[in-house]
Structure 1
Amino acid sequence: MIQPRLTSVLLFVAAPVAATLHKQSTPPMGWNSYNYYNCDPSEEIIKNTAEALVNSGLAALGYDYVTTDCGWMTRDRDGDGRLQWNETLFPSGGKALGTYIHDLGLKFGLYSGAGYYQCGSVDLPASLGYEEIDAQSFADWGGDSLKYDNCYSSSPDVMVNNSSPISQSPVRHQKMAAVLDSVDRDIAYYICQWGIGYNVGEWASPISNAWRISNDIYNSWRSIWRITNEVIPYWRHTRVGAFADMDMLIIGLNALSPEEERFHFSMWAINKSPLKIGAPLAESAIVPAESLDILSNREVIAINQDSLSKQARLILRYTEEEWDLWAGELSDSRMVLGIANWKNETQTVSVDLTVVGVQEANARDVWAHEDLGRLRGAGTWYLKGHEMKLLVLSEIAKPPLAPNGTGFHAAENATLSGSAVVESCAEDKCLPAGSRARYITSDSTVTFEGIASNGEGTKLLGVDFINYEIATDSAWQWGSNTRNMTVAVNGGRAKRWAFPISGGDWAEADRMFIEVDGFVDGDVNTVSFAGFGDSYAPDLVGFEVFE
Structure 2
Amino acid sequence: MLSLLTTTAGVGLALPWLAAAVVHTPTPPMGWNSYNYYNCYPNETIIKDNARGLVELGLSAVGYDVVTPDCGWPSKNRTADGQITWNPELFPSGFPALGEYLHGLGLKFGLYSGAGVWECTPDNGDATVGHEVEDAHTFAAWGGDALKYDNCWANIDTMIRFVDYNPSEKDPSVRFAAMSDALDSVNRSIVFSICQWGVGQDLGVWALKYGDTWRISNDIQDNWKSIWRIVNQAVPYVKHTGIGKYIDMDMLTVGLGALSYEEERFHFGMWAISKSPLVIGAPANASITSEESLAILSNKDVVALNQDLLGEQAQLIRRYTEEEYDIFAGNLSESRKVIGVANWSNSSKSVNIDLQLVGVQKSGNIRDVWAAKDLGQYEGAVKVDLKGHEAKLLILPVSAQLIYDVEPLYYPAATGILQGDAMSASCGGGCLPKGSKVTNMTVGSSVTFSNVSGGVLGGMKLIGIDYINYDVALASAWTNGTNTRNFTLSVNGGEPRRWSFPISGGDWYETGRLDVLLEGFHVGSVNELRVEAPGLDPGADLVGLAVYT
Instruction: Report the TM range for the smaller structure's normalisation.
Output: over 0.9
1:464 is paired with a residue whose SS is strand
> Does residue 286 of the first structure (1) align with residue 288 of the second (2)?
yes
- What corresponds to 1:515 in structure 2? 517
- What corresponds to 2:232 in structure 1? 229
| Aligned pair partner of 1:181 in 168, 184, 187 | 184
Deviations 1:324-356 (A, max 9, x none): 011001111211111110001101112111122
In the aligned structure 2, how far is the partner of 1:10 from the partner of 1:421?
A: 37
Structure 1 residues 396 and 11 mapped into 2: Cα distance closer, same or farther (>3 Å)?
closer
Residues 120-519 of structure 1 mapped to structure 2, 5 A cutoff: 120-154=121-155, 155-166=158-169, 169-282=172-285, 284-362=286-364, 363-399=366-402, 402=404, 404-427=406-429, 429-454=430-455, 455-519=457-521
Deviations 1:63-116 (A, max 9, x none): 110011000111111111111211111110000000000000000000001111
> Does residue 116 of the first structure (1) align with residue 103 of the second (2)?
no
In the aligned structure 1, how far is the partner of 2:406 from the partner of 2:344?
A: 29
- What corresponds to 2:10 in structure 1? none
- What corresponds to 1:93 in structure 2? 94
State the 1:20 CA deviation: 3.3
In the aligned structure 2, how far is the partner of 1:93 from the partner of 1:167?
A: 38
State the 1:9 CA deviation: 6.3
In the aligned structure 2, how far is the partner of 1:403 from the partner of 1:538?
A: 28
Amino acid at match of 1:98: G
- What corresponds to 2:548 in structure 1? 546
Amino acid at match of 1:103: G
CA contact (8 A) 1:433 1:541 kept: no
- Unpaired stretches in structure 1, ≥5 consecutive residues: 1-7
In the aligned structure 1, how far is the partner of 2:22 from the partner of 2:187?
A: 13
State the 1:373 CA deviation: 1.5
Deviations 1:421-441 (A, max 9, x none): 1123322x2134521111112
- What corresponds to 2:12 in structure 1? none
- What corresponds to 2:11 in structure 1? none
Amino acid at match of 2:328: W
Amino acid at match of 1:303: L
CA contact (8 A) 2:4 2:335 kept: no
In the aligned structure 2, how far is the partner of 1:93 from the partner of 1:17?
A: 41
In the aligned structure 2, how far is the partner of 1:263 from the partner of 1:168?
A: 36
Amino acid at match of 2:390: E
1:404 is paired with a residue whose SS is coil
State the 1:127 CA deviation: 0.7
Structure 1 residues 87 and 167 mapped into 2: Cα distance closer, same or farther (>3 Å)?
farther
1:471 is paired with a residue whose SS is coil
Deviations 1:232-290 (A, max 9, x none): 111111111110100000001111111111111111111110000000113x2221111
In the aligned structure 2, how far is the partner of 1:407 from the partner of 1:61?
A: 49
- Unpaired stretches in structure 2, ≥5 consecutive residues: 8-14
Amino acid at match of 2:482: S
State the 1:42 CA deviation: 0.7
State the 1:217 CA deviation: 0.1
Moved over 4 A (4+): 9-15
- What corresponds to 2:28 in structure 1? 27
- What corresponds to 1:52 in structure 2? 53
Amino acid at match of 1:76: N
More displaced stretch, 223-232 vs 72-81: 72-81
Q: Percent identity?
A: 51
In the aligned structure 1, how far is the partner of 2:304 from the partner of 2:546?
A: 36
State the 1:198 CA deviation: 0.4
- What corresponds to 2:16 in structure 1? 16
CA contact (8 A) 1:10 1:355 kept: no
In the aligned structure 2, how far is the partner of 1:430 from the partner of 1:12?
A: 27
CA contact (8 A) 2:437 2:543 kept: yes
In the aligned structure 2, how far is the partner of 1:196 from the partner of 1:436?
A: 24
In the aligned structure 1, how far is the partner of 2:163 from the partner of 2:112?
A: 17
Structure 1 residues 377 and 274 mapped into 2: Cα distance closer, same or farther (>3 Å)?
same
CA contact (8 A) 1:246 1:268 kept: yes
TM score, norm. by length of structure 2: 0.95
2:475 is paired with a residue whose SS is coil
In the aligned structure 1, how far is the partner of 2:87 from the partner of 2:398?
A: 56
Amino acid at match of 1:58: L
State the 1:310 CA deviation: 0.9
In the aligned structure 2, how far is the partner of 1:168 from the partner of 1:262?
A: 38
CA contact (8 A) 1:9 1:355 kept: no
State the 1:121 CA deviation: 2.6
RMSD between superposed Cα atoms in Å: 1.7
TM score, norm. by length of structure 1: 0.95
State the 1:404 CA deviation: 3.0
2:408 is paired with a residue whose SS is strand
